[in-house]
Amino acid sequence: MNPLLEKFDTAPFSKIKNEHFKPAFLQAMDEARAEIDTITSNSETPTFKNTIEGLEFSGQQLDRISSVFFNLNSAETNEEIQKIAQEISPLLSEFSNDITLNAELFARVKTVFEQKDNLDLTVEQLTLLDKKYKSFSRNGANLQEEKKKRLREIDAELSKLKLKFGENVLAETNKYEMHLTDESELDGLPVGAKEMAAQLAKSKDKNGWLITLDYPSYIPSMKYAKNRELRKELSMAFGSKSFKGDELDNQENVLKIAKLRHERANLLGYKTHAHFVLEERMAETPEKVHEFLNELLEKAKPAAEREFEQVEDFAKDLDGIDRLEKWDGSYYSEKLKQQLLDLDDEKLKPYFKLENVIEGVFKVAEKLFDLQFEEVFDIDKYHEEVKTFRVYDNEKNFISIFYADFHPRKGKRGGAWMTSYKSQWKREGENVRPHISNVCNFTPSTETKPSLLTFNEVTTLFHEFGHGLHGMLANTTYPSLSGTSVYWDFVELPSQVMENWCYEKEALELFAKHYETGEVIPMDLIQKIKESATFQEGMATLRQLSFGLLDMSWHGADPSNITDVKAHETRAFEGTDLYPERKETCMSTAFSHIFQGGYSSGYYSYKWAEVLDADAFAYFKENGIFNKEVANKFKAHVLSKGGTEKPMVLYKRFRGSEPKIEALLERAGLLKIS
């Protein structure tokens, strides 16, 4: 029996073998096609129920299989799974095109769409109808046959290229190791980071210490290692991922992806890929995105240049460094922060034991949204490190399953993300509850210390948990409008707003306790954390804006004449670069967010959502960070509503007005210094 073809609630990980995936996909696609045939062969007049709802609830088994497979390909992959992904992705792309280019199906959808004003539909039903119609029109349903054929070819090729891009970046990350046998080379590294490096070496039967490009290993080394040559080597290795002209090089993939996306947009009648994408975003047009990014750039750049100069002067005074390089930035910024604020991560880490932070984020969710998290051990999981929880409200109503997976492994891609194994929806009187997962790459425990998080890891945990809440508290009728199925520049609001609680005394006192003494984090450290929130905020803002501008440079103009990835990137970074340029490094070739993930023409969303989150949290601050009335409004109008209405409508219902950019500038300390 193939466990993926059975009806299952929680994913049956322990029963699944790699050989189950392809047959399951093929059968589930056949079943989904049969469901579509039932809709198109219906002799009755097309209605919202027999066509739009029929389409919405078709292919559910295929959706479940896809979520299990592609989540594993991110969190617990291996060569065999990657090979299956390369085989399956074009088939899924073809399947998707079979639906969106199905003329009979589109004719039925169009019939309902054209009658929408006379159908007495709810707001959510109208949103679904609009979304279904656009899923056809934006995927070529109105094209002539020849163009439809070309669209299919492009989609199949893009699905393979994006996978290959990601595989190359992961392989590059896994391939690199810095093996050290002389302890003096680790001078400056915190005890925990040294222990981790020793543990890593031991796990690979090597003497001494190993440093890798995984964040928990790479970041402390860049921040604390005194050895400038060591930092340089690491920085160059990190910055040259998939940019070495070998079999893992992504330059050709980047050019192909950008050009195929542009061709696809043109086929569909859009000027660029960005015009196509932004039609379905709050920002609406590339012009508006550029205007937004440039407005922030104008405020942030003077501050960033002053901050950079301050670090450069500091490095010169301290160590005679004439020219600050990329591998010096984190190290001297950290030293300067320690001097100015008397604060460094090593002082904070003892107060942020992973288990306590998890407990803390749960308590914050309980105080705000009446949620209870109960760890359980009867839910199947894909790796022994994964923790599983059942989530209830205060009245013991079941809300969600929650998976949490916190540490780096060989088969796990870098970074942190939220995902889902099952959506939420309502049908036939039942409210089907979601299965949500947070996946991170945090500092693991060592032989002498538990997992102690840097403050940056604490905010990352809260961030991903905010996405998690968006998924868990979903309360919509249709799965494709549920949870995080919202406009991309709105999706970061719930995650980014949650980070704010990490800076508040009232919240920190719930969980920031010394792992050995149990002492609550002292008030002076809380004050320093708050002060550090705006430390070098100009440089941090400039960095984020540079990524957004790079993204728009690839997708907001015709890329046909771009032949040199590095030269193009250098031009895109011209207005935002502070450090000397290095010809051996390139960001685009490892910029997974835009070339593998879903952020193409959308990287600006992080800053866009920061405006929303600063404005939203200002509302909490005015009324108390645990104010129930404000929390209930946020839950009712943002977290539970998914993509059922336009985001600005939902936001204004919560806040009473549109967000103001001043809230972000004030929080970032950029109002007083710009």
Amino acid at 468: G
Give the H/E segment covering residue 403.
strand 398-405
Q: Is 170 exposed, middle or buried (0-12, 13-18, 19+ CB in 10 A)?
A: buried
Q: Which is nearest to 337 in space by CA: 539, 492, 184, 520?
A: 539
Q: Which residue, 488, 96, 91, is CA-closest to 289? A: 488
Kind of pairing, strands 398-405 and 387-393?
antiparallel
* Sign of the CA dihedral running 438, 441, 445, 447: positive
End-to-end CA distance of the chain: 65
Q: How far is CA 653 from CA 476, 478, 633, 636, 637, in A?
A: 17, 21, 8, 9, 7
Q: Maximum CA pair distance of the chain? A: 82
Q: Please answer whether residues 653 and 493 qualify as being in contact, where contact means their C-beta atoms are separated by less than 8 angstroms.
A: no
Helix axes 60-75, 79-100, angle to 10 degrees: 150
Query: Do 60 and 29 meet the contact criterion of CB atoms below 8 Å apart?
Result: no
Active site residues: 464
Rg (Cα) of the chain, in Å, rounded? 25
Alpha-carbon gap, residue 226 to 187, rounded angstroms:
6
Burial of 669 (0-12, 13-18, 19+ CB in 10 A): middle
DSSP 344-402: -HHHHGGG-BHHHHHHHHHHHHHHHH-EEEEEES-S--SSTT-EEEEEEETT--EEEEE
- Using a CB cutoff of 8 Å and minimum separation of 24, what contacts does 382-387 make? 382/11, 382/13, 382/72, 382/75, 382/76, 383/75, 383/76, 383/409, 385/409, 387/358
